[in-house]
Each structure stands twice: as structure tokens, then as C-alpha cells.
Structure 1
Amino acid sequence: MYILYNLIAISTSAILKVLALANSKLSLFVKGRRESLPKIKQSIAKEDKVIWIHAASLGEYEQGLPVLEKLKLLYPHYKTLLTFFSPSGYEVKKNSKVADVICYLPLDTKSNVSAFLDIAHPDIAIFIKYEIWPNYLVALNKRNTPTFLISAIFKKNQIFFKSYGGFMRKTLNNFTHIFVQNKKSHSLLNSIGFNKVTIAGDTRFDRVSEIVDQHNELNFMENFKQNQFCFIAGSTWPEDERLIIDYINQCNYPIKFVLAPHAMKSNHIQEIIQSIEKPVVSYTDLNENINLADYEVIIIDTIGLLTKIYSYAEIAYVGGGFATGLHNTLEPAVFGIPVIIGPKFEGFAEAEELVQLGGVISINCSEELQHNIDTFFSQQQKRQQTGQINTNFIKEKAGATQQILNALNSVLSSKN
């Protein structure tokens, strides 16, 4: 099986180079990887101590960020290396200062792995959630590099728990330790004889807990909201937007609306603006001559603002639950407000729990959306009680980062 895996890895690398000629996203994927080793070589010297964190994409990056930030504070003499697998993560964060080096992870072929580890020579390697790459893990183990998997989730249908999954079960043994999010994952690993595992929870709860204490003020939101009730819909898809726009157009309450679509192509933004019958403006059209107090709706057509914008909401709507997959419900929930989502939230653990608790409300149609917004607008006590459920839930779930840091500290301190 290991031989077959390597043949597939080599073949995939060759096929992607051909496909990239006709696909812009794959072109980023391939071109970016060619730049990884020179980029690392330029920034990391042979004598440097290195902490390496690898994330598949943006969601996993958010889970690893609390750990990365704390490690940078505790070990300022270490260089930090952050790698991504997906363009949707790397292209967003490639110019940030969160790590000393940010690049793509070369594909998991033996030659790539050897070249990468020779240049990066990490003192510790931290993988996030689902990132389990056999050649990297085997090579790290052979080099006696402590290797951790954090915020991991395991499910019964994964290859590790199948009769034919021996190769991948063996791969897991290369981890020094695995930190899982829940009891189910812990039990599954124990069932295949893997006992180097701790239930630490999800580091995202630590990440969102910090959001409340950061500087969240935005001048344009102050001018827009004034002292009015504000409904904010984030990461919406067309399926979500149809319901929300219908509500906006028929709403008679004094409510300010913020709509932050997942897709920000100019033609889509214009379609949204044209379908709204109330005074509406897009963020990129703002200028000093516009008095935002005169507008009832603002469309956020840029990235990087949504987390702060949620701090101005009395109610939030998180998109994706009518489409391909629910977006982050924790970012608005941490501000102690009710959160509304679509019907498709199965598999999103925090959404499942919060729907059961009552802090997140799942709707199936426009009538249910209208009922919930109207109720929360007119019943302040119910709104506050619902929001408090979300606040309490996040507080109870926080603490994963410190558990993980305790283990990482014991490794890194022994290397100093």
C-alpha cells in the first residue's frame, strides 16, 4: 500500500502540472509550490531553530493561530514557518506577518519531503485537524522531530478504521501525540490501539474568545448604525440572499442591515444592490461625501472586516446552510447574540450543539426567517437570553490552546 501511495503521489504531481495550464486555481497551486523551497532557503538559516505549523486552508489556519501566536511569544528566538495546502488559505494569508515564512507545502512525495525538511529543518512540527501526510510523518519520525496533530477530529467512516486501512493506521504512530476535539475521536483512536491521545477540544473557541477583547471599532459602522437595531448577515450564498433580501424589502421595522456575501464578484454585488428596494450602498463605494446615516443597507464587498462587523449586531445570520456548507457560527456567537442559519448544519459540531441548546436557530424558509427576526426585534429579553446561551457555550469550550501548549512547552524547553 505504501508503494501504491507513492506512485499516486508522483502521478498526481505530474497531472496537476498539466491541468494547471488550463485552470487558474491549479496554476496558483503549482506555481506557488515551485516558490516554496527558495522562499524558505532565503529566510531560514542552518543554525536557526524552527517551529513549523501546517494548515490545509483558512479554517484550519484559524484553529492553529492561537497556538502559533502563543509559541511566538514564548519562544521569540525561534523562526516560525507556516505552510498551507490550499490556495484558498495561502493566497489570503501569504502577505501577513503572523509567521516568519509563509508558503505552500510541497506535495507529499519522498523527494519533495526530503528537500523540504533539509531546508526547513523544523525542531517541532504541528499539523492541524485532518492533515495526515504519510511521507512527511515517516520522515519527521526518522529525524526524531516531535510531531503533533491538534484540533483533530476522527470519524468512523475514515480509512483508519477500515479493514484495509492498516497503512494509514501505521502512519498515525509517527505522531508524538494527537490532541482531539471530542470523546468520540478519542474512543476511535483507542479502538485501533492508538493511545497517545488527549481530549483538548477545539482551539477555535480560544481564537473567537479573543475576538471580543480586540479592537473592534469601525468608523463606518458607527456612522451607519447610529443607535439602531442592526441585523448582520455574513458569508451568504445566493440561496441565503434571496430570503434575506425579501425580508429587507418588506421590513417595516427601523432596522439597519449589513450583508456580506461569500461571493464578491462585481456583477453579483450589483445584482444584490439592484434587488434591494431600500437605500443601499456598497463598502467600496463609500467616500467622504456619503452620509451613511441616510442608508438602511450596506453591502460588504471586501474581505477582512466581517469579524469586527459582527460586534455591531443585535442578530446575526451565517450563510451556507442553504447551500454547500455552513460558515463560521462562532464568530458572531461570541458577541452574545442570537445566530440564525439555514437547515444544512449536520456535521458542524458547534452548530449542532448550539441549535440543540437554542442559541443558534435553524430556519427552512423565508417565513421562519421573518418570524425569528421580528421576535428578536420586539422581545429584547428573549434576544438577550438566546445570546447568553452562545456566550456561555464558548466560555465552557475554551482552554484547548493551553492544554496543547503545555505539551509543546515540555518538548521545546528540552531543546533550549
Structure 2
Amino acid sequence: MTGTPLTLRLYRAAMSLAEPFAPLLLAARRRRGKEDGERIAERRGVANAPRPAGRLAWLHGASVGETISILPIIERLTQRGFTVLVTSGTVTSAGVLAERLPPGAFHQFAPLDTPRYIRRFLDHWQPDLALVAESELWPNMIVALEKRGVPLILVNGRMSERSFRRWQRAPKTARALLGCIDVALTQTPADAERLARLGAPRVTIAGNLKFDAPAPPADTQTLALMQGQVSGRPVWLAASTHGVEDEIACYVHMQLKERWPDLLTFIAPRHPHRAEDVARMAEEEGLEAMLRSEGYAPGSATEIYIVDVMGELGLYFRLAQVAFIGGSLLNHGGHNPIEPAKLRTPILHGPHVHNFNDVYAAFDGAGGAMPVTDADELAEAIATLLQDAARGREMTRAAAGVVDRYGGALERTLQAIEPYILQMELERL
């Protein structure tokens, strides 16, 4: 990188000056359940394992959704002889990856974006190839990879209109950083246009990897046990909820149980450490609540069953007759609806889905998902689907059609990566 813009130099200096305060930040996050205390050194770039011999690819995703979307790439790279280092920034993603990474791949927490932490991380792992998912464009990481000559590929790339406007305020910085990306593989034409306008030199529309990601798994024995426990009961799921959405789920349950006294509501908070707070809130409303971490399947008296064990959401999508996808009744941006679509679970969502605008537009337009605006509409929609199974089957067929129609991003992504793999293989000859 030549002619480093002033804004980028200031950012790098600020992050260096802020580094002494990083332990305080990490400690505060740990107290809130957002860091793994036993692995917190990884956030400072300290490795907890030796570097494996041979070629190593580094793949990074921010959290659960991003890392799940790149699982097929991870598997293909391990099949091609790479060891794959996967990093993410959340405890929940680490838990999911612990269950789902293939042999030949392992997880570390991503270092904070300070020059020293990034340098320490790269000095140890020395990746031969780096792939980052969606919008994880951290300046110090990009600069360090460029200086080391490590190819950097953006996969499943996205650039929202809001982010685009922010980047436009510092056009020289945007061009300097995006110019370091070897290839930007985007989800949509709009993402491609924004990245190209900001200075990414090689942009290709590959599609959304989430349509090709595998459906979340479920333990067969646990599934069979719970199917027996809930047999004959109306069941719905509030998945990946935030804040007030847990209260809304309890409100909906109380509205619906007048009609279905044996109704069972699953609540899966996006951040499982909040589960006990959700349980207390439900009990204050006079509802019988149970935590999944207590180890018991829901009993006949259980009304609210709180999913606080990571990596099990696929189980509850399979058990529920309808699923509300959270982060959408408040302005959080929504979460991925493709997983329940693959498991043939009817999908409801709120109006705030800007993180997945194109995906929800495709589902809604095909009749594969149903938008609601508030708690009362959510209760009404759930009631409709509980009493009209045929309507739910129509929605799941439409959603499955959308998934089939928008698939193929994985193969296009792998084709774009292939020249880099071939170059490394030639260099070994």
C-alpha cells in the first residue's frame, strides 16, 4: 500500500494508543458473557496451539451466521490439503463451530484490530491465504496482510447503503483498503456496485452462500425424545430473540393459551447468557418456564422452554410448527431465515430485516414467509398457522423453491478461489 491516507494513519495510531485499555474492554465483555474467560488471550493475538505444518488458510466470519455460511468452503479447502484456521468474534459462534467444523479445521477467537495484536496473530499462524466473510473489513488486518503478500478474498461480500455512505466520507481510505482485496465476491449486484464505486478493483457477483450452507443439524436421539414429549401439543419457536422480543414471546403465549391451553413456546435468545433473565420474566408473568441447560425435556406443565444450549437451534426448527425469526420486531436488522426454510418450518418475521433485505424480499414475494408488525399481529399469524396446517405447507414449499432458485453461490465462490489454490500447488512442485 503506497501513499497511506491520513485517516488510515490516524486510525492505526488511535488503535495503538487504545491498546492498553483493551484488557478493560475484554474484562467488561467477559462479565456480560460476551467473551470466553479461558480463551481471552486469543483476542490479544495469543495463540493457544502451535501452527500446523503445511498450507494454512485463514477464514474469518463475525459471528454465527457468517461462519455457518462458510462451512462448505472450509470443508472443500480441507479436502484440498489445507489446514483451515477459522476465527470469529463471539462466544456463540465458537460453540457452534466446536460442533460443526470438519477434521482439519480449528477455531480461534479473532484478535482485536490493533497493529500489535494483528502482528502477533499473523507472526504465529502465517496464513497462505485469507478469506473474510461479508463485511469484516478491519483496516489493520487488511494492511498487515497486504504487507505480507497474503492474498485476501472477500467472500459472500455485502455493502449496505448505510455503510456505503459512511465509506464515501473517506474515499481515499476506502480506495486504499479495498484496493488490497484480491477478489471481492458479492451477494448481489447492488453490493458489487457499491464496492466497485468505493475502489475494489476486482468484483464478481457470486450470490449468497447462506443459500448453499447446510441446514443446522439435530441429534437424532434428542429429537426423538422431544418429539415424544411434545407430541400432540401446538408448538412454536421464537428464534434468535433480542431484548423486548422475549417479552413479546411471553405475551403471545398468554394470548394464545386461552385457545390452546397446552401450547408450548420455545424461546431461543440470540445470546444464551440472557436465558435466566428470560426465565425470571416468564415466571413473573405466571408462566411455567424451564431452561434447556437444566438437562430435561419439556414436561406436560412446561409453557416456556428456553433454549440456552448452543448449536441446537436445528432441533427446535424441526419440532416447531411455526418459527418467528427475531431481531426483526426491534431495529436490529433481523437474522437468517434460510435455515428454517431448509427444514420446512413456516417463517414469520418483523419489519426490521435490513441485514437480509434481499433474502426476506425473495421469501415474502414468493409467499414463503409472512411479515408482522407487532405482538398482536404475531399472535394472529401464529394462530392462523397452528389451525391451518395446509397454509403452513404452502409457505414451506414456496420457501424451499426460493432456496433452490438462489443456490449456486458455493460453486461460483470455489471457482474464484481455485486459481489461488492452483498457484500454491504449483509453487510446491
Residues 389, 254 of structure 1: CA spacing in aligned structure 2 closer, same or farther, 3 A cutoff?
farther
State the Cα distance separating 1:181 from its structure 2 match: 0.6
Q: Deviations over 1:178-237 (max 9, x none)?
A: 1101010112233345341111112111114x4489969613321123255432222333
Contact map agreement 1:134 1:168 (CA 8 A) in 2: no
Deviates more, 1:396-405 or 1:213-222: 213-222
Residue 79 (structure 1) aligns with? 83
Q: Distance in 2 between matches of 1:156 and 1:328?
A: 19
Q: Deviations over 1:365-406 (max 9, x none)?
A: 444233322322333332221221211111112221111112
Whether 2:351 is the aligned partner of 1:343: answer yes
State the Cα distance separating 1:115 from its structure 2 match: 3.3
Q: Deviations over 1:302-331 (max 9, x none)?
A: 332221221122221222322352233222
Q: Distance in 1 between matches of 2:47 and 2:379?
A: 55
Residue 393 (structure 1) aligns with? 402
SS of aligned partner of 1:185? helix
SS of aligned partner of 1:53? strand
Corresponding letter in the other structure for 2:235: C
Match of 1:117 among 100, 114, 122: 122
RMSD across aligned positions (CA) = 3.3
Contact map agreement 1:243 1:369 (CA 8 A) in 2: no
Unmatched segments (≥5 aa) in structure 1: none
Residue 375 (structure 1) aligns with? 384
Q: Distance in 1 between matches of 2:110 and 2:218?
A: 33
Contact map agreement 1:182 1:199 (CA 8 A) in 2: yes
Residues 89, 226 of structure 1: CA spacing in aligned structure 2 closer, same or farther, 3 A cutoff?
closer
Residue 11 (structure 1) aligns with? 17
Contact map agreement 2:290 2:306 (CA 8 A) in 1: yes
Q: Deviations over 1:80-114 (max 9, x none)?
A: 11122445544664687556442233333444433
Whether 2:160 is the aligned partner of 1:155: answer yes
Q: Distance in 2 between matches of 1:116 and 1:319?
A: 35
Q: Distance in 2 between matches of 1:363 and 1:241?
A: 13
Unmatched segments (≥5 aa) in structure 2: 1-5
State the Cα distance separating 1:145 from its structure 2 match: 2.1
Task: Output aligned runs, 1:14-413, within 5 Å.
Answer: 14-20=20-26, 24=31, 31-33=40-42, 36-39=45-48, 42-45=49-52, 47-72=53-78, 74-75=79-80, 77-87=81-91, 89-90=93-94, 93=97, 97-98=101-102, 100-157=105-162, 158=164, 161-208=167-214, 210-211=215-216, 218-236=223-241, 237-252=245-260, 255-262=263-270, 264-273=274-283, 275=285, 281-285=290-294, 287=296, 292=299, 298-325=305-332, 326-349=334-357, 350-413=359-422
Residue 3 (structure 2) aligns with? none
Contact map agreement 1:226 1:293 (CA 8 A) in 2: no
State the Cα distance separating 1:4 from its structure 2 match: 0.9
Deviates more, 1:217-226 or 1:14-23: 14-23
Residues 380, 171 of structure 1: CA spacing in aligned structure 2 closer, same or farther, 3 A cutoff?
same
Corresponding letter in the other structure for 1:44: R
Q: Distance in 2 between matches of 1:92 and 1:166?
A: 38
State the Cα distance separating 1:135 from its structure 2 match: 3.2
Residues 173, 291 of structure 1: CA spacing in aligned structure 2 closer, same or farther, 3 A cutoff?
closer
Contact map agreement 2:44 2:117 (CA 8 A) in 1: no
Contact map agreement 1:84 1:105 (CA 8 A) in 2: yes
Contact map agreement 1:235 1:260 (CA 8 A) in 2: yes
SS of aligned partner of 1:108? coil
Q: Distance in 1 between matches of 2:382 and 2:367?
A: 15
Q: Deviations over 1:266-302 (max 9, x none)?
A: 243143245355x765434555xx8946756544343
Q: Distance in 1 between matches of 2:208 and 2:219?
A: 20
SS of aligned partner of 2:70? helix
Residues 327, 276 of structure 1: CA spacing in aligned structure 2 closer, same or farther, 3 A cutoff?
farther
Corresponding letter in the other structure for 1:181: Q
Residues 385, 15 of structure 1: CA spacing in aligned structure 2 closer, same or farther, 3 A cutoff?
same
Q: Distance in 1 between matches of 2:128 and 2:175?
A: 24
SS of aligned partner of 2:159? coil
Residues 276, 202 of structure 1: CA spacing in aligned structure 2 closer, same or farther, 3 A cutoff?
farther
Corresponding letter in the other structure for 1:320: G
Number of corresponding residues: 407
Q: Deviations over 1:2-26 (max 9, x none)?
A: 3212111202222223444555358
Residues 159, 317 of structure 1: CA spacing in aligned structure 2 closer, same or farther, 3 A cutoff?
closer
